[in-house]
Structure 1
Amino acid sequence: MSVVFADIQAAQGRIAGQVDRTPVRHSRRLSQLTGAEVWVKYDNLHFTGSFKERGALNRLLSLTEDERRRGVVAASAGNHAQALAYHGGRLGVPVTIVMPEGTPFTKVDGTRSHGATVVIKGSDFTGSTTEAHRFRDEEGLVFISAFDDEGIVAGQGVCAIEFLEDAPDLDVLIIPIGGGGLIAGCAVAAKAMKPDIRIFGVEAEMYPSFAARRAGVDSKCGGATIAEGIAVKDVGDIPFAIANPLVEDVLVCAEEDFEKAVAFYATYEKSVAEGAGAGGLAALLRYPEKFAGMKVGLVLCGGNIDARMLAVVLNREMVRERRLLTYRILGDDRPGMLSAMAAVIGGLGGNIIDVVHNRLALDVPAKGAEFDIMVETRDSAHADEIGQALKDKGYALRMG
């Protein structure tokens, strides 16, 4: 094994006082929802918003004086970028970051704000890595992988040391997998501190690179995922070799799972999570039977999500729960029609958000209109109550 517990302990000492020790809290609400006893480590509270700071700083502190002078380059969708940029700026190390096209604005702006040079190049992480290697070869910069680097892995493992020091009774850790740096470091540290602890990984359905490599099949990766922080087509060689024998299983989650987890963190924990950062909770929500009654540790490993995307995710979850839905009603186009429908909805406590008239649809009579009324409800039962009341009043409900 290329990274051992002593390396992670050394990293902990090296970065002490320069990286926040993030809090660990027991979540009564998430425990009630999932049937497990859930502890969350809030790595979204790091200064740059993700767990990446530990590994980035540990790696930067290992540079020679000549390497510091030349500067470093990395490919990153944002969190590794911001961590390198911030700590590179603190240490006086020039940092160049290559980001994929479509990287969230909050991550691009955050990286630039720390003084790094940002280059947008490549349709995905692989393309950005190719460009970063070009900078390494042509300009003499030191390439620092976001995950395929022993110094990075050792630094990330400090997360598990902190977690188990604060919650020593954990039975399970569920950790998102992109390139594998976090789960590799945490698996080494956790198993050294508590050999019987069980380690589970989480991957996005569109990017199951660790699971595919473990199964010995070609990884079919691609697509736009809300979990862009773990949208990695090829897990790193170093972290895979370290983590594979220590990880019990890799759980694959769909987009809906990540969206629900982001919404639940915001709603129940009052904490902002990006898609990848919510991966542990996504897996727990999708596979609750695997962890029923267990003491489960979740690393909320990042909170860098665009405000617009967060709003979209929260609204989509309201749609799934039928707390936000559209009643499509076919009716006469005459004065007072909308007022009468609104009276039914408002009388039952529905909150009308938006109304759209459609008079031009060819399946609507020329003297009629289609009304799309978007309503906020308390829950699914309330939505049904309003729908039935509209039908009872004689309105033709096309969709509810």
Structure 2
Amino acid sequence: MAVVTLDDIKKARKKIENTAIKTDLDWSRTFSKMSGNEVYLKLENLQRTGSFKIRGAYNKISNLTEDERKNGVVAASAGNHAQGVALAATQMGIKSTIVMPEGAPIGKINATQGYGADVILSGESYDEAHAEEERFAEEHGATIVPAFNDLDVIAGQGTIGLEILEDLPDVDVVITPVGGGGLLSGVAIALKESNPNIEVIGVEAANAACMAESMKQGCLANLDKVDTIADGIAVKCPGEITYKIISEYVDHIVTVEEEEIAHAISLLMERAKLIVEGAGATTLAAVLNDKINIQGKKIAIVLSGGNIDLDMISTIIDRGMIKAGRRISFETSLFDKPGALRDLLDVISKTGANVISVAHDRLAPNIALKHAQVQVALETKNEKHVKEITETLKRNNYLIKRIQ
């Protein structure tokens, strides 16, 4: 028997309807063709605050008593939950305090403050921030808004399931990311209590697979460490409530690797024109990397958030370009004489490659006298083009060492 009911989720939807938007469920021609299924994208990356978290936060805070509202709310988070709590509390005129680790990105601190919260920086990790959250709640009488292990939060996240059913009543499979389990728990209840035949699947990063490990052990598992670009689901231990719900309602938990997540982020940018964070991209990664053995089904995948650091996007783009053969960097040695660099660039220009950068160094201690070391970065078409370039350089007596 679920500790959160379908009726709870329906009530939550009415409470949040003026704050959390109903996000689109878009059919993707590209990903349908790539996977052999009918793929629909649930665009929670376009939700207010950039993730689904506003749903559960608003539902939780809306159910506080008058006395609880007067004392305010507090939450520990360095990401999406922080912004969801901040906006939800501000919408209801309630004071909010967010405890973030001291190393939290400036952009996320500013965004949380922009939504109206007071921010306290405490500790080097989430666990230390959580300890400060509990101390603050005890001292000020503030109500803690948990990130996932809470009935009202779960019910709020479950409203995504109701929206999917409205837009795609004959959906066969719904796939969501899972970290602590609040999103997957709520969506699973909404779907299974409406239609038990719908398959519900959760996806974790392999480097933070606390729910998969818990399911394997048959009890809550606490990981020693997590290390993933999917920071929104980088959780060491799932919630007790969410674990019980997922054990009862969810069909499968699968995991995806870091490179698979990064590639999914890149594909969503290039092919769907969508900015999606690591946690949100795990669902597409699972579908495109055969983690789920389904064909010819109508699949709704939840893109849970779009709050990704610009530096991370830049790194993923660069690595994706290199893997696709659309960028190459190499170094070679030239005689240190006038025209030597020009001759090299002339050879490169005839291959049709575009020069991105050139670094010419004649003073490095490892370079022979009367020589210069040159590093060149090129924009290329594909791996075949890269091979043609390297062969052309070798035919022209350039000894090259590929850097990337």
- TM-score norm. by structure 1 comes to 0.95
TM-aligned CA deviation for residue 73 of structure 1: 0.5
Contact 1:105 1:306 in 2 (8 A): no
**Secondary structure in structure 1 of the residue aligned to 2:40:** strand
5 Å-filtered alignment, 1:222-237, equals 222-237=225-240
Partner of 1:316: 319
Name the aligned partner's letter for residue 280 of structure 2.
Answer: G
Q: Give deviations 1:332-384, integer Å, cap 9, x for gaps.
A: 22222222222222222211111123445565432223322111112211211
The equivalent of 2:55 in structure 1 is: 54
Q: Which amino acid aligns with 1:6?
A: D
C-alpha separation between the residues in 2 aligned to 1:281 and 1:221?
A: 27
Match of 1:141 in 2: 142
Trace 1:136-285 onto structure 2 (pairs within 5 A): 136-216=137-217, 218-285=221-288
Q: Aligned pairs, how many?
A: 400
Distance across 2 between alignment mates of 1:77 and 1:207: 17
Q: Secondary structure at the match of 2:249?
A: coil
State the partner residue of 1:342: 345
Q: Deviations over 1:18-38 (max 9, x none)?
A: 221001101111222333321
1:152-202 deviation per Cα after TM superposition (whole angstroms, max 9, x unaligned): 000000001101211223222221111110000001111122211111111
Aligned to 1:103: 104
Distance 1:274 1:347, change over 3 A: same
Secondary structure, counterpart of 1:257 in structure 2 = helix
1:350 touches 1:377 (CA, 8 Å); kept in 2? yes
Structure 2 equivalent of residue 64 of structure 1: 65
Which residue of the other structure, out of 383, 387, 396, is the alignment partner of 2:390?
Answer: 387
Q: 1:45 Cα deviation (Å)? A: 1.1
Query: Contact conserved, 1:100 with 1:122, CA < 8 A, in 2?
Result: yes
Q: Supply the RMSD in Å over aligned alpha carbons.
A: 1.8
Cα 1:186–1:397, aligned 2, differ >3 Å: closer, same or farther? same
SS at match of 1:290: coil
The answer to which of 275-284 and 215-224 deviates more is: 215-224
Larger deviation, residues 176-185 vs 119-128: 119-128
Q: Deviations over 1:253-278 (max 9, x none)?
A: 22212211111111111111111121
Does the CA-based 8 Å contact 1:31-1:37 persist in structure 2? Answer: yes
Identity %: 40
Are the structure 2 counterparts of residues 180 and 223 from structure 1 closer, same or farther at C-alpha, using a change threshold of 3 Å? closer
Is 2:226–2:235's contact at 8 Å kept on the other side of the alignment?
A: no
**1:299 is aligned to 2:302:** yes
Query: What aligned pairs does 1:107-126 form with structure 2 within 5 A after superposition?
Result: 107-126=108-127
Separation of aligned partners in 2, 1:215 and 1:144: 29
Match of 1:80 in 2: 81
Distance of aligned partners of 1:221 and 1:248 in 2 relative to their CA distance in 1, 3 Å threshold: farther
Contact 2:265 2:278 survives alignment (8 Å): yes
CA distance in 2, matches of 1:264, 1:153: 30
Aligned position for 2:332:
329
Which has the larger displacement, 244-253 or 173-182?
244-253
CA offset digits 1:199-230 (Å, max 9, x no partner): 11111222111111111185434254321111
Q: Give the 3-state SS of the residue equivalent to 2:15 in structure 1.
A: helix
- Residues 44/178 of structure 1: CA separation in 2 closer, same or farther (3 Å cut): same
Q: 1:329–1:178: structure 2 CA closer, same or farther, 3 Å change rule?
A: same
Structure 2 distance, partners of 1:339, 1:375, is 15
User: Following the alignment from structure 1 to structure 2, what is the Cα–Cα distance between the partners of residues 300 and 138?
Assistant: 38
> Contact 1:323–1:380 at 8 Å: present in 2 too?
yes
**CA contact under 8 A between 1:125 and 1:232: conserved in structure 2?**
no
SS of the equivalent of 2:377 reads strand
Q: Quick one: which amino acid aligns to residue 210 of structure 2?
A: S
Q: Which moved more, 1:186-195 or 1:283-292?
A: 283-292
**Residues 164, 341 of structure 1: alpha-carbon distance in 2 compared, 3 angstrom cutoff:** farther
**Which amino acid in the other structure matches residue 267 of structure 1?**
E
CA contact (8 A) 1:77 1:228 kept: no
Asked if the contact 2:208/2:227 (under 8 Å) is kept, the reply is no
Counterparts of 1:112 and 1:219, CA distance in 2:
32
Q: Does the aligned pair in 2 maintain the 1:35–1:288 contact within 8 Å?
A: no
Aligned to 1:357: 360
User: What are the Cα deviations for residues 72-96 of structure 1, in whole angstroms up to 9, with x where unaligned?
Assistant: 0111122111111112111111101
- State how far apart, in whole Å, the 2-side matches of 1:83 and 1:298 are: 21
Residue 396 of structure 1: how far off its partner (Å): 0.9
Relative distance call for 1:59 and 1:39 in structure 2 (3 A) is same
Question: Conserved in 2, the CA contact under 8 Å of 1:331 and 1:396?
Answer: no
2:75 and 2:82 in contact (8 A); partners too: yes
| 1:243-300 per-position Cα deviation (integer Å, ceiling 9, x unaligned) | 1222222222222122111111111111111111212112223325623333221111
Structure 1, unaligned runs of 5 or more: none
Unaligned runs of 5+ in 2: none
